[in-house]
Every structure is written in C-alpha cells, then in structure tokens.
Amino acid sequence: MIVHEHRLVIGVIGNDIHVVANKVLERGLRNAGYDVCNIGVNTFPEDFIDAAVEHDADAVIVSTINGEGEDWVHSLREELTTRGLKDAFLYIGGNLAIGDQPRERVEAKFCDMGFSRAYHRPESMDIFLTDIAQDLAQ
Amino acid sequence: MIVHEHRLVIGVIGNDIHVVANKVLERGLRNAGYDVCNIGVNTFPEDFIDAAVEHDADAVIVSTINGEGEDWVHSLREELTTRGLKDAFLYIGGNLAIGDQPRERVEAKFCDMGFSRAYHRPESMDIFLTDIAQDLAQ
Amino acid sequence: MQIPSDIFIKQRETVRQSPLLAEVDAADGAAFLAQLPESRYAASAFQNRGEHPILQPRGGFALFDDQAQLTHELDVAGADFLPLTIDSHTRQNDYERAATLLEQCEERNENLLNGYPLLAHGALLTRSLFTDINKPVSLRHGTPDARVLVEAALDAGITEIEGGGICYCLPYSRSYPIDRALLNWQYIDRLCAYYSTDERRIHRESFGPLTATMVPPCMVVAIQVLELLLAAEQGVRSFSVSFSQTGSMAQDIATATALRETTQKWLDQLGYTNVDVRLVFHQWMGAFPVERIHAEALITQGAVTAALIAADKIVIKTRTEALGIPDSNSNADAVKVTKFALRLSQSLAGCTGLNTDEESAHIATAANTILENILQLRGIALWDRVASAVRTGIIDIPFAPHQENRGELWTVRDNDDAIRIADQGKVPLPESFLKREQQKLSNRQENVGLDTMLYDVMLMVRKSYL
Amino acid sequence: MQIPSDIFIKQRETVRQSPLLAEVDAADGAAFLAQLPESRYAASAFQNRGEHPILQPRGGFALFDDQAQLTHELDVAGADFLPLTIDSHTRQNDYERAATLLEQCEERNENLLNGYPLLAHGALLTRSLFTDINKPVSLRHGTPDARVLVEAALDAGITEIEGGGICYCLPYSRSYPIDRALLNWQYIDRLCAYYSTDERRIHRESFGPLTATMVPPCMVVAIQVLELLLAAEQGVRSFSVSFSQTGSMAQDIATATALRETTQKWLDQLGYTNVDVRLVFHQWMGAFPVERIHAEALITQGAVTAALIAADKIVIKTRTEALGIPDSNSNADAVKVTKFALRLSQSLAGCTGLNTDEESAHIATAANTILENILQLRGIALWDRVASAVRTGIIDIPFAPHQENRGELWTVRDNDDAIRIADQGKVPLPESFLKREQQKLSNRQENVGLDTMLYDVMLMVRKSYL
Ligand code: B12
Ligand code: B12
C-alpha cells in the first residue's frame, strides 16, 4: 500500500443524512493510503473549517446529496484562507444542483466559487482518486 | 333453457385463424338456445352465403379479428338478397378497422354497407345477445 | 421408426425440386452450415448457456432492409437468439402471393406482410441478414407443411427450427389434414437429424403455447412429449419442449416440473438416451393488456417465472402486443425489461422445490394417462396414432380453429386463476384427477353469458384492472 | 419491564404540555380514536386482510390541500393503507422551522418541505384529511424523538405508527443519543399499548430497511426482533416486523422465513403470547434506477416477491424515486403496477417452501447469536442492553450515519447478488456462519477502487443495464 501521508477532511454538508457516498469515499481514500478525517453527515461549514485547521489538512472534500449544497459552501474558500490554509485543495461532489442541469455548467459554477474541482453526479468516483493524487503530487 | 328455434350462421372471415371470439360466440349462442352453424375461421363470403342458404338462416354473424374485414364484406347484403334471404339479419363484430378509429364512425360505415348492426371492439359481448334476441323477436 | 435413408433421399429429391430452392444446391447448403462458427448453433448455445435463460424476441418484416435493421437492433439490445418470423402466406404455402406482395412492398416501400417471406427473398439473400451476427437464428412460423421453408432456412444458416405436426397444425390451420402435417414434420425432423453432427446439432423446438387460450397444462405436457418422441424417432438429438405463462404463477411452476419429469420418463421408457432436452418458456401469449403499465408488469412477471423455473430460454412479448405488429423500439424495450427482470431474479435459478409438488404430480398423472392411451391406439406408427388421437378427441386443444380438433374439452379458471378442466370431452383422464379439478372449481359460478366466458380468456385485459 | 402506570401518566403530562398539542385535550383524542370505524384501524385491517398483501404507498406534501389531494388520489388508485409522511424538520424536532417554512409555502403556494408538517398543521386539521377515508392511515417519518409527534398523530386518528429506537435513530440521525432514542420509543410503545383495547389495537411497525444499503439480513432480523420485544414489553399487541428487497430474490425469501421463525422463537422464549405479528415488505429502498423501464420492472419484481413470501403488507416505491419527491401521478401509477403484479402473483401466496431453507437457517442462526449476546449484556433493562450493543458494535448497521454506530461491519455481494459479510467488525457471529459467508464470496474480487465498491451499492443503477 502506498502511503501518501496526506491529510484529508471529508463530510456531507447541510441537513443531509445520506451517508452512502461518504462511507464509500472514506474507505476508498483510506485504501488509497490517505489519512482521512471523516466529519460525517449533517455538518456545517464551520465543522469543515475547524477539522481542516485541527488536522492541518491538505484537502477538504465536501459531499452534498440532497441538492441544497450551494447555499452552504459560498464562504468555504475564504474561510480556509483566513484560517491559514490557503494552499489546501477544496473539492465538492454529489448532486450539486436540483433538477436536470448540464454537468459542465454546474461544475464550472462551483469552481468559480473557489473549488479546485467539482463533480456533479459523476459517472465514476475513481476519477476523483486519480485527480486528487495528481493534484497532491504537485 | 329457452329454445329460440332461430337458425344462425357464424364464422370468421378472411385469412384469419384467430378463433377465440368465435368459439365463445358459438358457445354463448348455443347456451342461449339458438341453432348455430359455425363455419369457423379462414372463410370467404361465399361460405357465409352458402351456409346461410343451406340452413335458411335467420341471421348471419361475421367476425373479423385482424382488421382486414372490410375488404371481404362489401357484397354480403346484396348476395343474401339475391339468394332469397333478404329478411335475414346481418351482423359484424371484432376489430373492424386498423388503428385507433372512433367506434361510432366505424360502426356506422358498416351499417351503411347493409349490416343490421356492427360492433367495433365492443366492451361487452353480452350486449349482442340482447340485441339479437330483440331483433329476432320482431 | 426412422425414415430409412434411401426413402428419405428420394423424398428429399422431390422437395428440393422446388424452384424456390434452386439458387442453392443441397450440398452447398450443407457446406455453408458446416462452416458456420459454433456461436451460430442454437444447440451449442444451449449447452454453453450461463446463468440466465437465453433471451429470444420475435420479429419479421416484409422488406429485407427492415429485417436487417430489426436484426441489428435486437442484437444490440441484447437478444441472445435472433428471430426470423415468417409471414402468413408463406406459412400457408401461398408462395406466389407472398412474392407478389413483397414486390408491392418494395415498390411502395410499405409493409404488407406480417412476417419475413423467406422463400420470396431466397436463402442466399437471407444468409446476408446474419453475416455480422454471432448468435443463433431461430425460425418462427406456424406452417403445417414447412418442408420447403425449412430446407431454405437451413440453406440460409438457421440452426433452430420451431414447429411440429400437432402444434403448427391445430392452432394455425383450419383444414390442413393432421396426418399430412405429421408426415411433413416427420420429414423435417429427419432432415434436421440428417444435418446434425455430434458437435453441430440442428435444434428443434415445439410450440407449447398452442392456442395460448385456456389450454390445460396436462394437454400441453402430453403434446410436448409426443412431439419430442416423434423427433427423437427421426434422430433429432437437441430439442426444446415449451409452454407459456398461464396466468397462475404457481401452475406455471408446477407445469415446468411436470414437463421435465414426464419428458424424462418417456425418453427413458422408449430408450432414447442421447437427446438433449431444453425447456423454453413463453411470456403470456393470450389476449394482452393494452395499457403499457400492465403490459410491462406482465412481461416482467413472465421473466421472473422463467428464472424461477430455470428455463433454458424465454421467448418474449412486447408492450405493444395488443396493438399490432411491434416496431423495433418496443421490441428493444422488451428485450431490455426482460433482461433486467431476469437479472433481478437470477438468484432463483437454483431454487426449485416451491411446494407445487401436488399440482405438478397432478398434471403429470393426467399427461401420462393421455400418453398411455395414445400409445395403445392401433396404428402403423406413432404419427398415425397421434392423428387418430386428434380425430377421436384424445388430443383436444381448446380454442383450436382446426376442423379435426374436437373442441369438446372445456376449461375455466379457479380462484387462483389456474386453468381447470370443467368438461373433459373425449380426453381420457383419471377419476382422481377430475375430482381434484372439480374441487378446485367448487366455488366457481357457472358460465352463462358471453362476458363471463370471456372473463377467463381476458384475464389480463379485465376492466377491473383499469 | 412495562413503564408503571403512575410513572407513565407523569411522563405523559410532561409531553402533553407541549403547546403544539394544546388544541386537543388528551381525553378528546382518546374519544376521537375510540369512535373511529373499525375500517380505520390498521390492526383490524391486518386481521381481516384478503389474499393479497395490503398495499401502502408513501407520501407527504407541505400544504394541506396538496396532502388532501394526494390522499384522495391514492385512495382512488387503490391503496389499502394511506400514508402520512412527515418532513425532515419535524423529524428533527425543529418544529419552529417547519412552521415557518409552512407559512412560506402557504404564502408562495410552493412546496418547501419534504413531507407533511403534522405539528405545524395540528391534529384537528389533520383529522379532516381523512374524513371521507375508510382506510387506515400510517405515520411514516424517521424521528428519534417522536413523542409529541405520535401524540398528535393519535389525536388525529392515525392508528399505525412506524418507527423504533434503533431503526429511527441509527439510519436517520448523526448524533441523537441512542439511549435517549430507545427511551423515547419506549414511551411511544407504552402510549400505543395504553390506547389499545382488545378490539381496537394501535398498530406499531418497525423499519427494517434501515439504511437500505448492504445491510446483511441477520442484522435486520436481530434488530426487528429487538424492536418487537421492546414493544411487547410495553404491552403492544399488534406489531409489524419488516425488511426490504435486497437484490437477491432468493435471499429475500430466506429472510422472510428466518424473520418469521426467529420472531416466534423469541416471543415464545420470553413468554409473550398475545402479540399479533405481521410481516411487511418494502420494495427496493436503495439507489433506484433512473430509467422508467428498469424502475417499473424493479417495482413489479418487488411485488412478486411480496406475494411469494405472503407478506401482510407491501410498502411501495415509485418510478420517479431516483429523480425527486414523487408526484401523485407516479404514485398512482406505482399503486397500479404493484396491484396488477400482486394480482398476477396471487397464486404464490400458498407456495412457501422454495428450497431456501439452508439460507434461512443460516440467517436465523446468526440473528439468534446476535440476540443471545445482547441479552447477556449487563444492563438495567432491554433498552439499556440494546444501547450498549450499539456502542460495542454488536449491533452495527452498514452505512448508518450515526456516530455511535461502529461502522466496522462490511458487506459485499456474492455472485447471486446476495449480501454477504466480508468483515464482521465487532458483531458476534458463529464460526460456521462466517465460513459459509466466505465460501459464497470465494470467487469475488477484492474491492479496491471506489467504483468497485459502489458496484454493490449501485446494483440497480449499473451502467451495464443501460
Ligand atoms: C438510500 C436512501 C435513503 C436512506 C439513507 C440511508 C443513509 N443514512 O444514507 C434512508 C431510507 C434512511 C433515506 C431517508 C430519507 N431520504 Co432518501 N434516499 C435514498 C435513495 C434511495 C438512495 C441514496 C443513495 O444511497 N444512493 C447511492 C449513493 C452511492 O449515491 P449518491 O448519494 O447519489 O452519491 C453519488 C454522487 O452523489 C457522488 N458523490 C457524492 N459525494 C461525492 C464526493 C466526491 C468528491 C465525488 C467525486 C462524488 C461524490 O458519488 C455517488 C455515486 O455516484 C435516494 C433516491 C435514489 N437516488 O435512488 C433517496 C433520496 C435521496 N432521499 C430523499 C429523501 C427526501 C429522504 C428523506 C427526507 C425521506 C422522506 N421524506 O421520507 C429521508 C431523509 C431524512 C433526513 N433527515 O435527511 C430524496 C431527496 C429528494 C430531493 N432532495 O430531491 C431522494 C432523492 C428520494 C426521493 N425520490 O424522494 N433515504
Ligand atoms: C392468441 C393470439 C394468437 C394465437 C391464436 C390462436 C387461435 N387460433 O385463435 C396464435 C398464437 C396461434 C396466433 C397466431 C398468429 N397471430 Co395472433 N394474436 C393472438 C392475441 C395475443 C390474442 C387474440 C385473442 O385471442 N384475443 C381474445 C379474443 C376474445 O378477443 P378478440 O379476438 O379481439 O375478439 C374480441 C372482439 O373482436 C369481439 N368480437 C369478435 N367477433 C365478434 C362478433 C360479434 C358479433 C361481436 C359483438 C363481437 C365480436 O369480441 C371479442 C371480445 O372483445 C392477439 C394480440 C392481442 N389482442 O393481445 C394476437 C394478434 C391478433 N395476432 C397477430 C398475428 C400477426 C398473428 C400471426 C400472423 C403471427 C405471426 N406473424 O407470427 C399468427 C396468425 C397466423 C394466421 N394464419 O392467421 C396480430 C395481428 C396484427 C394485426 N393485424 O394488427 C396480433 C394483434 C398480435 C400482434 N401484435 O402482432 N395469435
């Protein structure tokens, strides 16, 4: 097993208890050798920031399943910077919009909000493993 | 059992071997006390006329299931008259048209061709028992 | 007795004289078949089949291009066997009419035939339908005299031939003499056996649904065993017995067991040891629901039943069955929904033994009684005994249009929708069997009106479901 | 031990002090319930049920008028029980937020809640939803502390209460303390028993699907038995255990048998003789197919399974499950397709005994081991033992979001899609059980990537089906 020595914070934001993707992500990232702090479901922006600071995280990965994610994440990038983590990667994945909206447009919107990458209903989650490995290797 | 003493000829016209409705009709009309001559499936106009003459039929009942009935029945009324059966009732029932056409219009067309009554995809077959009993009682 | 070689060769010469077969020499046909990859052989596909029942749609269009497109679409949709369904005129040996209508179709680019006119197109052209196909093709028709048709089908590389002297005569014809139909199919069985080698067997399949209307399972089982025995006699060594969904899932499961057991019993009894017998299940073949939601539920449930009885093959219906010849879209959807449902039910394949044993023993006993009575008839051969069985009403198929079929056997549904015999007609059946049937019907009302009679036939189209 | 009357009365006084319950006096509520016709009682409906499983949809809208319309439409479509599904805020006791959002909904005539905010509307208004309804109403929610909610539901004439201390806490909440949840549900069980007379019992139902994601049947069975025993302890005498379609029909059939047997065994063992136990089956609760054709096939197959296991009730899904809160059209269609499929499969009701005995014994043995281990724990009462079982990982629900849930139990699917335990975590299980589970997985590849892991979770949404 390759140990990446990278510290990641993951969780599901908002009043959302749909945890399946989160559990899979946790297990997958651990298998890939990351040091994962999973703050679980039903979490708020502060929880992500606090955990990231506490763990000196290299990346923060936000999930949202019920489509209400957008309301919660506006200030995440700014807060990370304020709290001294301006180099941390910030990802978001899940159902990023309500209704059927084109993937590219949805993902671009989140990147504009300061996310390093965004994944709206991705067909594969393994892509994310490749992407994050690449980003962190820089 | 009421015995009507009326003689009926029934059959399915054209190159059509779908016999289910015909068998039900035969059994139903026999149960109702009629003298039924069933010429079966895959029959032609002549077969109906010949059987009607031979049995001195009070009514001729044509079925058609595959939607191609119209081509076969144009001359039935005329032939019956020619062969001395101008008072015989003439009925037709089944899938009288291809595709979804309004029932009234389809049935009217066949009545114009000399049929006493026509039944396009009827919801009930018992209605016909009532109708024919009434017609023959006149 | 198997038709002796010399006689068969002579019969064949006569058949092959048909100008419709002239474009391919018999030897060429044989050579073409022999060089086909194993994947094109139905018998091999059965032997290599995986967990799921093999999935086979129906389908036939007049025009070559339409048929080629349908073939391609069904292939892509995931059909395991591809169909070639023949038009009615060819079935009734009215080859000229089929050819004329085909010409008109081509001129007007319209579809005036309810199937593919194989003999009008010819075997050579038909081969090219399947050039890029790596799956077996099944000939589906309904022809009492299919000798020329089957010759052409084999010439074209079709390796599965549906039909039989009983099943393709009584439900499909009004007056084709049953004895002649049986002899025609004896020829076809002999021909299929003649073309079969140890590795490459031409597969035969009987058509168990018959009229698909209120046929009691014991009669289906008896007829399936007879057609298997008739084929085995001619040397056929790969054969499918079949039946269709009856409306009672429990009765279907029982029928599958009875069919398997009875088949084995009679093969053993008559000493046929080298026949690979397969079980084919047809999704509901009777009057079909018009509403999409019901049609698709029925199709799904048929697939679950096929999985439960571990059928070797399932022949599928489409949601537009009640409306007219299905287009390729609804055909592809039918493949899709069936495939998914089979997948959902795959775990059932090993789960035989649902407690329908009483019912299956019941069916088997009755079928055996019918079969024993037929084998005791006087006659010069099995086909001859079968023909007299039809004439005397020992074989009797409800709702068959055929004039030699007695039509005295009458069936109704019990409270669980199972088909029960209300009037045995001339069919010999054990007392105990009839008693149980009556018991099952004890709280059924008498059929008087036409609508109550239709109530059973129209099981899937009852107004109460709307 | 049953909560003693005096203590219960005191507890209740506190609960009833909630201003949200002020509009109905407890005695009025009792009187209202008592005068409802028997047809409104779930427990009676179970006792009088006919051949088919009782059919129950889900459904909750924010606005009264929408809910009234949904109720009417489901009634007309043929639902046997009507649902009242509660919104998330009410579930999390955030009554104020639910009320505020309801006001906004009313102003803007929009639906901002994912269920019916019963406490915001109040019991009196809610009664009028069902004035013209002659069927039982079932409360569907997911609330760890449902004391006030259930009081209001009973005031409103609802006679079936879904939930339980384990099943409505671990899958539905991140941090609500499990011991408090168990105590809250002890109160609710006691309340339901208090309101039950010999003829009119308030029916309780557990939620066996849990996270609906890879939960092994033995864990479901153990939890169902525990919630039944907890309710029986408080005097509940009409109770449903439940589970959901897992993706392996054979495993579902085995689970039903194991669930029935294990339930009976423990009721006998602990001397509860007067509890009417029912079996409820949920159509597939996991990630749902997006495509209509697959969604409907899945729903149909769930109905066949319900018929096969002779479920007392089936809780249905709609074809739009993957897309969002179902509208009443797709809800009505779901009722229709399920009804038809149940009808098609009714003959199976008597057909128990599919040879899944080995599997069901396997499940039962494991469930019994879990239960025995829990009953041997130290603790002041059953609820207390259950709470420690959760904390120590004896009870462990895969994919539960709850922080007290260990999450060490890990499951994967075998070749027939049955759910098998790959890592037992802290769950005590017999050696022989684990060995058989491993055997079943012998030719399964290791899960490494995320997609292979999701492959099992996404059983019904795999790309290979498209
Ligand atoms: C299982 C399930 C449940 C389980 C959840 C168990 C649990 N604790 O997780 C239970 C039964 C408890 C449940 C409860 C509820 N549920 Co629910 N549930 C589902 C269901 C059927 C499947 C969800 C699931 O697990 N999918 C599988 C996972 C793997 O997929 P996923 O979550 O979509 O994640 C994918 C992507 O988002 C992505 N992803 C996620 N994060 C990340 C991160 C990165 C970096 C990347 C790259 C990708 C990524 O990867 C995954 C794979 O593609 C869906 C409907 C459906 N989809 O079929 C409804 C659904 C999500 N639920 C819904 C609702 C409303 C609820 C309830 C409120 C129910 C109610 N009214 O009764 C409650 C929730 C209460 C609450 N407080 O939140 C709605 C949401 C409606 C909406 N907003 O549009 C849905 C759509 C159902 C419906 N049609 O009504 N539910
Ligand atoms: C059962 C069936 C068969 C059985 C027939 C057994 C038999 N001998 O009867 C078998 C399997 C043998 C069969 C064969 C074929 N069939 Co077919 N068959 C059906 C099916 C599924 C049901 C028909 C049925 O029995 N309905 C029940 C009876 C009771 O209803 P009915 O016939 O519609 O009659 C009603 C009315 O018409 C009316 N009625 C009839 N007569 C009268 C008279 C009076 C006075 C009154 C009042 C009322 C009345 O009352 C009845 C009750 O409402 C239908 C599709 C469907 N509807 O679901 C296809 C169908 C009719 N068949 C069809 C075809 C094409 C064929 C074949 C050519 C197949 C082929 N290409 O492979 C062959 C026929 C060969 C030939 N030479 O004719 C097509 C017809 C296409 C078209 N023209 O639109 C259909 C629509 C299927 C399809 N979608 O392709 N078939």
Q: Which residue has 């009288």 as its token pair?
A: B96
Whether the per-residue pLDDT at A3 is higher than 60: the answer is: no
A112 among known catalytic residues:
no
Question: Do residues C332 and C78 make contact, with C-beta atoms less than 8 angstroms apart?
Answer: no
Query: What is the enclosing helix (H) or strand (E) of D105?
Result: helix D95-108
Phi-psi region of C163 (alpha: psi -120 to 50; beta: other; left: phi over 0): left
Please tell me the number of the ligand nearest to residue C116's CA.
2
Question: Do residues C223 and C400 make contact, with C-beta atoms less than 8 angstroms apart?
Answer: no
Query: Side by side, which strands form the sheet with C238-244?
Result: C54-56, C313-315, C276-282, C238-244, C203-205, C160-162, C137-140, C82-85
Task: Flag if B125 and C457 touch (Cβ within 8 Å).
Answer: no
Query: Tens digits of per-residue pLDDT, C44-77?
Result: 999 998 878 999 999 999 999 999 999 999 999 9
Count Cα atoms within 13 angstroms, Cβ side, for C212.
Answer: 20
Of C410, C407, C368, C372, the residue nearest C390 (C-alpha): C407
Backbone angles phi, psi at C437, to 5 degrees: -60, -45
Tokens of B56: 């001195």
The pLDDT > 90 percentage for chain D reads: 73
Whether the per-residue pLDDT at D96 is higher than 50: the answer is: yes
Please tell me the number of the ligand nearest to residue A24's CA.
1
pLDDT at position D354 is: 59
Catalytic annotation, residues of D: 91, 162
pLDDT at position D127 is: 98
Strands C410-413 and C419-423: antiparallel
Last residue of a domain, one of C348, C383, C407: C348
The pLDDT > 70 percentage for chain C reads: 95
The total number of residues shown for chain C amounts to 466
pLDDT at position C466 is: 46
Q: Which residue has 């989650």 as its token pair?
A: A125
CA B13 to chain C, closest CA, distance in angstroms equals 12
C294 — contact with chain D (CB < 8 Å)? yes
Report how far residue C67's alpha carbon sits from residue C111's, in angstroms, rounded to the nearest whole number: 11
Report how many domains make up chain D. Answer: 2
Q: Which residue has 């967990």 as its token pair?
A: C51
pLDDT at position D466 is: 46
pLDDT at position C359 is: 85
CATH of the domain at C11: 3.20.20.240
The total number of residues shown for chain B amounts to 138
Where does ligand 2 bind, in terms of residues with CB under 6 Å?
A: B 16-21, 25, 61, 63, 65-67, 91, 93-95, 119, 121-122, 125, 128; C 85, 88, 91, 114-115, 142, 171-172, 211-213, 285-288, 321-322, 324-325, 399, 401, 454, 457
Query: Tens digits of per-residue pLDDT, A10-35?
Result: 999 988 889 999 998 998 899 889 99
Q: Whose CA is nearest to atom 11 of ligand 1?
A: D211
- D449: nearest CB among A19, A22, A126: A126
Last residue of a domain, one of C348, C383, C417: C348
Helix count and strand count (H, E) for chain B: 6, 5
What are C137's strand-pairing partners?
A: C82
Helix count and strand count (H, E) for chain C: 18, 10
Interface test with C, best of D244, D252, D304, D413 (most C CBs within 10 A): D304
Measured CA angle at A30 (ends A27, A36), to 5 deg: 100
Residue ranges of the domains in chain B? 7-137
CA of D269 to the centre of ligand 1 (A): 39
C215 compared with C464, residue with greater pLDDT: C215
Whether the per-residue pLDDT at C355 is higher than 70: the answer is: no
Please tell me the number of the ligand nearest to residue D407's CA.
1
Where does the pLDDT of residue C444 fall: very low under 50, low under 70, confident under 90, or very high at 90 and above? confident
pLDDT at position C189 is: 98
Are residue C427 and residue C300 in the same domain, yes or no? no
Query: Tens digits of per-residue pLDDT, D12-56?
Result: 999 999 999 999 999 999 999 999 999 999 999 999 988 789 999
Whether the per-residue pLDDT at D147 is higher than 80: the answer is: yes
Are residue D31 and residue D152 in the same domain, yes or no? yes
Report how far residue C281's alpha carbon sits from residue C294's, in angstroms, rounded to the nearest whole number: 20
> Stretch A104-123: mean pLDDT, rounded?
93
pLDDT at position A71 is: 79
Interface of D with C in 210-249 (CB under 8 A): 247-249
What are A117's strand-pairing partners?
A: A91
Report how far residue C137's alpha carbon sits from residue C118's, in angstroms, rounded to the nearest whole number: 13
> Stretch D43-71: mean pLDDT, rounded?
93
Whether the per-residue pLDDT at C349 is higher than 80: the answer is: no
Question: Do residues D318 and D283 make contact, with C-beta atoms less than 8 angstroms apart?
Answer: no
Strands C276-282 and D54-56: unpaired
- Of the listed ranges A36-45, A113-122, C441-450, the least confidently predicted one is C441-450
Task: Flag if D453 and A15 touch (Cβ within 8 Å).
Answer: no
Where does the pLDDT of residue A4 fall: very low under 50, low under 70, confident under 90, or very high at 90 and above? low
What are B61's strand-pairing partners?
A: B10, B91
D52 compared with B91, residue with greater pLDDT: B91
Catalytic residue (choose from A18, A35, A50, A135):
A18
CA of C283 to the centre of ligand 2 (A): 16
Backbone angles phi, psi at C315, to 5 degrees: -100, 125
> Stretch C378-402: mean pLDDT, rounded?
96
Last residue of a domain, one of D313, D348, D383: D348
> Stretch B35-56: mean pLDDT, rounded?
95
Where does the pLDDT of residue C322 fall: very low under 50, low under 70, confident under 90, or very high at 90 and above? confident
Measured CA angle at B12 (ends B8, B17), to 5 deg: 145
D85 compared with D248, residue with greater pLDDT: D85
Phi-psi region of B102 (alpha: psi -120 to 50; beta: other; left: phi over 0): beta
Whether the per-residue pLDDT at C279 is higher than 60: the answer is: yes
Question: Do residues C140 and C84 make contact, with C-beta atoms less than 8 angstroms apart?
Answer: yes
Backbone angles phi, psi at C340, to 5 degrees: -65, -45
pLDDT at position C447 is: 56
Query: What number of other Cβ atoms are within 10 A of residue D311's Cβ?
Result: 26
Residues of A in contact with D449 (CB under 8 A): 28, 125-126, 129
What amino acid is encoded at D32 in this protein? F
CA of D71 to the centre of ligand 1 (A): 25
Whether the per-residue pLDDT at D102 is higher than 60: the answer is: yes
Could you list the residue range(s) of the whole structural domain that residue C145 is in? 5-348
Q: Which of D335-344, D426-435, D441-450 is the most confident on average?
A: D426-435
B41 — contact with chain C (CB < 8 Å)? yes
Report how far residue D257's alpha carbon sits from residue D245's, in angstroms, rounded to the nearest whole number: 14
Question: Do residues C312 and C278 make contact, with C-beta atoms less than 8 angstroms apart?
Answer: yes
Q: Identify the DSSP state of D156.
A: T
Q: Which residues of C269-279 are buried (b: 16+ CB within 10 A; e: fewer)?
A: eeebeebebbb
Does the CB atom of residue D235 touch ligand 1 within 6 A?
Answer: no
The pLDDT > 70 percentage for chain D reads: 95
Residue of A nearest to D400 (CA): A19
Query: Tens digits of per-residue pLDDT, B97-123?
Result: 766 678 999 999 999 999 999 999 888
Are residue C244 and residue C319 in the same domain, yes or no? yes
CA D3 to chain centre: 24
D359 — contact with chain C (CB < 8 Å)? no
> Stretch C384-394: mean pLDDT, rounded?
97
Instruction: Write down the CATH number for the domain with range A7-137.
Output: 3.40.50.280
Strands D410-413 and D419-423: antiparallel
Tokens of C165: 């002297």
Are residue C313 and residue C378 in the same domain, yes or no? no
Are residue D322 and residue D426 in the same domain, yes or no? no
What ligand 1 atom has the least distance to the C-alpha of A41? 8
- C345: nearest CB among D301, D303, D348: D301
Tokens of C19: 């100008």
Q: Which of B30-34, C262-266, D58-62, D337-341 is the most confident on average?
A: C262-266
Interface predicted TM-score (ipTM) of this complex, two decimals: 0.84
D348 — contact with chain C (CB < 8 Å)? yes
Does the CB atom of residue A42 touch ligand 1 within 6 A?
Answer: no
Tell me the DSSP string of A20-79: HHHHHHHHHHHHTT-EEEE--SSB-HHHHHHHHHHHT-SEEEEEE-SS-THHHHTTHHHH
Are residue C224 and residue C365 in the same domain, yes or no? no
Question: What pTM was computed for the model?
Answer: 0.88
CA dihedral B24, B25, B29, B30 (to 10 degrees): -50
Of D408, D402, D403, the residue nearest D421 (C-alpha): D408
pLDDT at position B1 is: 43
Are residue D299 and residue D364 in the same domain, yes or no? no
